[in-house]
Structure 1
């Protein structure tokens, strides 16, 4: 088949050095099916100041396969640069290292060829390809196409899979799959070791290698774009890799039966990523966290209960033993259980629009859907191609590690109040960047000696930012407009993805791992935020109100004169209007700039409690509670207190909520406290004394800060109880009564452990 132009969405990227140059392999999903694009003869590129050619020249000239070209680009010292082009990425890295040893500073040498190729073409998810497209091995194929970024919303075919295994060793019992998307009907299959299951969706396999082969064959037939699951990378896929290793074969989950590729993320080998050519593997737990979902436990049982109102078919503490029993005695039940887990993951993805969120992130950042971190890489993808078109190349990461201050927190005034309003600056840090023209290139240009002061906006630490010719403020404005459009269209996944990206920019600029890190940049954001909060408080108190707390981008205002809700809320609207107007006038008068700062009257607490720090009469910070009216009913809100912290027991949280409710509504509370204490000492509330928290270190390694779950673990250890034993995937709890030594509690499958406080702890 020949098609001159085709739009698609990027699923996977890879590159390899060859004798003929670097070869890029890009897989896309398109309206006409999956497509593989092979881009050949590429070179690896970095930049070098022309001033360094005297030192670098002999090395560059004496290395075969290296070409040096003068360019119309400059570095941040405003010196012209040359481009250094190498036949292989390995050669480029070796050459860059050799140049550094000679005192040179190669620029952008860390960017791999496929990332540079895509970012320079503004490819962020969607693309348009032009070339001679044919069919090979059942997929579309094109060599050396023309590629450019394009707007394309993919329709993805998805397979949710889940495995069941023995508790010890490498023994695969079954693999369940639930496939959906595309034009065909949903598919449900379970590939089971041995006979005994009676369902028509069960395929019997003679050994675990046959189970794995049946799954690989099904993937080839159904051909999903995306594989999903629960801790699917570090448990399911990694376990299948171990099965493949035992069977002396490769794990062929990629399109065209290509093998997966692994990369370790920590020295212990407990966390890893996997690349699957032609497909994306997405983990439900990590994706929920990336979208800022919060749960007491990220176990599939807990999350599905909270979101869907239904859970797993086996939810007892000895789940592993029950799975083994069902495999031996009731394979019909095991097949049903295995398939139900697949369907629960599918329904969670649908309920939360997780797939749409992953697509939206990729469209905004240019990163693959399965790359959930990478804030610095996201910033590079967005900023570097725009920087190059402005005629500049990026610096290397600074060796100056001067820290910038964090968010500003006002001292709180502890007490119980009526009518407290929260006034919140909408996206404060992005709005500061946009208002005050804060930008890496803008800083480099604004500090030139021949730039007049009125051509710049002052920052902090003697920073000055050019008023014209910057990049980041325009990028913020573009994303802001996109988010407004997404909100107007009720596109929640896209709106959330844009919000996360915009809010990450300060963190990136304040990170020493960022090539643009400069204390003047980060401080000009945070210190400006401090100033804004302080001056806002002054204006509010000048109007006769009292600010009892402030935190980064919010101020808490006590409307002490309000006799009822209506008066308090009217005061909030007046403050919102007057303060926004004041900031517009003030910034134009002091800096000659247009303000995009936007203060919103966000919340009205009918009653509000700001507690003291334990053992002190000073007010707490980032910890408070209050009552708001919602839907005609009062609702309690807790921030930072035990009620919303999963590292405290259910008893502590429930007790606090009921105690505060009684205090807020004026009900007696003494009897409730006494009754709870008596039940606690009598052991009647033991089932609520459970800590669910990951142990990331051995118990004896917790020294300066010893949180409650570690204390419980130490008590159990002192009583000689056994260490935790668990199987499962991230968030699946092993219910045990001992903290043990803590070794293995955050094992290779990301186990969460449950520590039950002993009678000693109750005292």
Structure 2
């Protein structure tokens, strides 16, 4: 029965079909009729210079390899006509190596055949599937399928998974305690224990093998499209994979009864990538980072507190020890803890709208939802089919120019001080706007250089940097940026925030991709023509603003901070900000039309009015700092005054709660014009009277095992070493022997002192001199005061 239905892409894979000699592409889709599998036979493709076509045929014939070579209407970036090689994917890299030995270039070898098949048909994330329906156990299959682009919003069935294990120790086997599952109508923990003591929510099994078998059964019965978790791939699935291997049990959780497959990263063998037929595994941490969420800590406890106002059921730094204690003494409590973690992940995904973000990202880029990062692949999925239609094949990595290094974003030297009425003007999507305005594009660079060499009309060319030249008409990326911008504005109008955020991330990544050595289009003529043009734009914009009678006290990549030098009301400040942004936009339009005959897509926006603003100097110097400041603004929604801190100690987790609170409150009082001298003295008195001891704790993470810290041992590693020695004396198991972890400690008179060890003698002079004094004197330098004098007799007595 021939059937047509829309589907959303879940997973893709490929393998060579021994019968046809072609590559078999397998796509799994979420549809209104459940999971659907499609198989498509399609050879892999790469390209060689057409001049080597016959020799390549002779090589293939000698090797008796199934390679078909045909001339195509494409050329390389070196303007060499090319021929396409069609062959099974398992031969592709061997074929390239043989050709390279014969000095025959080979292009586009490393493009995934599934990606190529979809992108060349402009299928991104979803497709209309048409083929012959065949019912299989648990899913449908379409044969002789045809794919057409469409947009389809799936209703994904998700399952949150979390495991609890023993704490890793050298020489001891790792143990799996329990597996938690949370989904629609499912709340279950499977745990090692006495089976007769099971309950509906806590099922106890006799051994690890039975636990693993139940995992397979639960997933098969629930049949999720998506499995979610927290560090779920690199920890949970990596651990489970080792256990399945240890017990010689097939890890069969694919929708078609296939085993989970994985591969290790070449750069980091401990990092794994999973492939489950018809099921996507999404890690909450990676997805939040991809959606540009930022947190001091991405630990589940911290992120859950942010989104949900609650955290895990176990707290403290020795959570591993607590879990092992509960496993032995209170399995019910451990089950509740395990299930709570699953629930927290589930609710975070819903609260942060991560499913829709992942879906929209796939719709825009064609990447499956689990391909986190993937900026280069996303760019190529969008760029390559358009490049091919312009008659070019893509270059290989390192074929671009990179003799000169491209600079980073522009950061202006700041003017330190305490200011009133500072405006922030910000260029909207500066780098994408530069790409669109100045026609910066890989193909446009080739066409521009060719045009100049052939004596083309200079009116058709746009100069870049490092001798780059871009063609005004023959390009791809500027129009792609235009299209993305229009889609983003439409998404905003339709209040589709996940789509708007997705497009913003994609547009912002275009510069990063062109500046990445891992991208086939990497060429410092491209990246420098963006960044150096950005420097020029910020500097010339600052000059224009100063000609209007104001001072630019700082500039950072795409923003300028403008000191008005006079007292104004909020409305007057807003009016000046709007006038400056509009005037600057008009000035750039005129300037670019006169100089390059180009329309300007640069758009300066008035962003913020700081009623008071503080830019500190670099400690011990008169030079202003960068990316560090504080200011007071009026919230546009509540009309209340509020403080903003950027890069200062108040928003840095490596400073103590005492310092962070002290800076926030002191600066607030200074900015609001409230008395603060007596408050500072009271803070010093409270500190010395031991009333603030709970705020003196440092909390830092050892990112390596303790034994890795040998020379120049930092304070947190010293504290961890002391704690390990103390635990050994107490007959307790080590905490940092085989891996890093969090350590909380004071600074005592004998150095760093772990919180866990009683009877600390705190070094209060450290907290006065290293925590409070530098924060206070940074701003007192501009109020004409001194912390030591303000602290008074108490400080000198101490």
What's the TM-score, normalizing by structure 2?
Answer: 0.87
Gap change, CA 1:231 and 1:546, over 3 Å in 2: same
- 1:145-156 aligned at under 5 Å gives the runs 145-156=145-156
- 1:298-337 aligned at under 5 Å gives the runs 298-337=298-337
CA distance in 2, matches of 1:571, 1:191: 64
Q: 1:658 aligns with which of 658, 662, 665?
A: 665
2:181 paired residue number = 177
**Contact 1:646-1:693 at 8 Å conserved across structures:** no
2:85 paired residue number = 84
- 1:167-566 aligned at under 5 Å gives the runs 167=167, 169-180=173-184, 186-194=185-193, 195=195, 199-265=199-265, 269-399=269-399, 400-401=401-402, 402-448=404-450, 449-450=453-454, 451-566=456-571
Gap change, CA 1:239 and 1:737, over 3 Å in 2: closer
CA distance in 1, matches of 2:50, 2:498: 46
Gap change, CA 1:687 and 1:571, over 3 Å in 2: closer
CA distance in 2, matches of 1:146, 1:63: 34
CA distance in 1, matches of 2:378, 2:497: 20
1:711 paired residue number = 714
Point out the more displaced range, 436-445 or 257-266: 257-266
Q: 2:693 aligns with which of 679, 685, 689?
A: 685
CA distance in 2, matches of 1:255, 1:218: 13
**Contact 2:709-2:717 at 8 Å conserved across structures:** no
Q: Cα offset for 1:463?
A: 1.6
**What does the per-residue CA deviation read over 1:247-306, in whole Å, with 9 as the maximum and x for residues that have no partner?**
211212221332111222365643222121110011111111211222232222221122
CA distance in 1, matches of 2:106, 2:255: 37
Gap change, CA 1:224 and 1:85, over 3 Å in 2: same
Q: Cα offset for 1:623?
A: 0.8
SS in 1 for 2:521: coil
Q: Which has the greater radius of gyration?
A: 2
Gap change, CA 1:198 and 1:89, over 3 Å in 2: closer
- 1:80-159 aligned at under 5 Å gives the runs 80-86=81-87, 88-159=88-159
Gap change, CA 1:757 and 1:270, over 3 Å in 2: farther
**Contact 1:714-1:739 at 8 Å conserved across structures:** no
CA distance in 2, matches of 1:152, 1:674: 63
- 1:747-758 aligned at under 5 Å gives the runs 752-758=741-747
1:5 paired residue number = 4
1:608 paired residue number = 613
CA distance in 1, matches of 2:144, 2:726: 57
**Contact 1:533-1:554 at 8 Å conserved across structures:** yes
Gap change, CA 1:668 and 1:505, over 3 Å in 2: same
Gaps of 5+ in 2: 753-762, 767-798
**Contact 2:515-2:523 at 8 Å conserved across structures:** yes
Gap change, CA 1:46 and 1:198, over 3 Å in 2: closer
- 1:616-635 aligned at under 5 Å gives the runs 616-630=621-635, 631-635=638-642
CA distance in 2, matches of 1:702, 1:664: 45
**What does the per-residue CA deviation read over 1:642-691, in whole Å, with 9 as the maximum and x for residues that have no partner?**
22223333333222212221221234445544554565567643554222
CA distance in 2, matches of 1:649, 1:367: 42
Q: Cα offset for 1:488?
A: 1.2
The alignment of Structure 1 onto Structure 2 pairs a total of residues equal to 733
- 1:693-732 aligned at under 5 Å gives the runs 693=701, 695=703, 711-716=714-719, 719=722, 721-722=724-725
**What does the per-residue CA deviation read over 1:398-424, in whole Å, with 9 as the maximum and x for residues that have no partner?**
354332111111111100000000000
**Contact 1:716-1:737 at 8 Å conserved across structures:** no
**What does the per-residue CA deviation read over 1:468-494, in whole Å, with 9 as the maximum and x for residues that have no partner?**
131111111111111111111111111
Point out the more displaced range, 17-26 or 134-143: 17-26
Gap change, CA 1:620 and 1:211, over 3 Å in 2: same
Point out the more displaced range, 291-300 or 532-541: 291-300
Gap change, CA 1:668 and 1:74, over 3 Å in 2: same
Gap change, CA 1:248 and 1:685, over 3 Å in 2: same
SS in 2 for 1:12: strand
CA distance in 2, matches of 1:460, 1:476: 21
SS in 1 for 2:517: coil
Q: Cα offset for 1:697?
A: 7.9
Gap change, CA 1:441 and 1:241, over 3 Å in 2: same
Gap change, CA 1:387 and 1:697, over 3 Å in 2: farther
Point out the more displaced range, 14-23 or 517-526: 14-23
Gap change, CA 1:570 and 1:696, over 3 Å in 2: farther
Gaps of 5+ in 1: 181-185, 726-735, 746-751
CA distance in 2, matches of 1:667, 1:390: 65
**Contact 1:160-1:178 at 8 Å conserved across structures:** yes
**What does the per-residue CA deviation read over 1:37-66, in whole Å, with 9 as the maximum and x for residues that have no partner?**
1123x2221111123447645424433211
CA distance in 2, matches of 1:346, 1:304: 10
CA distance in 1, matches of 2:460, 2:215: 64
**Contact 1:266-1:272 at 8 Å conserved across structures:** no
1:590 paired residue number = 595
CA distance in 1, matches of 2:492, 2:591: 30
**Contact 2:409-2:556 at 8 Å conserved across structures:** yes
CA distance in 2, matches of 1:680, 1:50: 79
Q: Cα offset for 1:96?
A: 0.7
CA distance in 2, matches of 1:239, 1:609: 49
**Contact 1:122-1:149 at 8 Å conserved across structures:** yes
SS in 1 for 2:396: coil
Gap change, CA 1:267 and 1:427, over 3 Å in 2: closer
Point out the more displaced range, 559-568 or 515-524: 559-568
Gap change, CA 1:699 and 1:208, over 3 Å in 2: closer
1:66 paired residue number = 67
Gap change, CA 1:151 and 1:722, over 3 Å in 2: farther
**Contact 2:700-2:716 at 8 Å conserved across structures:** no
CA distance in 1, matches of 2:705, 2:623: 33
**Contact 1:73-1:80 at 8 Å conserved across structures:** yes
What's the TM-score, normalizing by structure 1?
Answer: 0.91
SS in 2 for 1:437: coil
SS in 1 for 2:63: coil
**Contact 2:318-2:735 at 8 Å conserved across structures:** no
Q: Cα offset for 1:455?
A: 1.2
CA RMSD of aligned residues (A): 2.5
CA distance in 2, matches of 1:569, 1:390: 46
SS in 2 for 1:577: helix
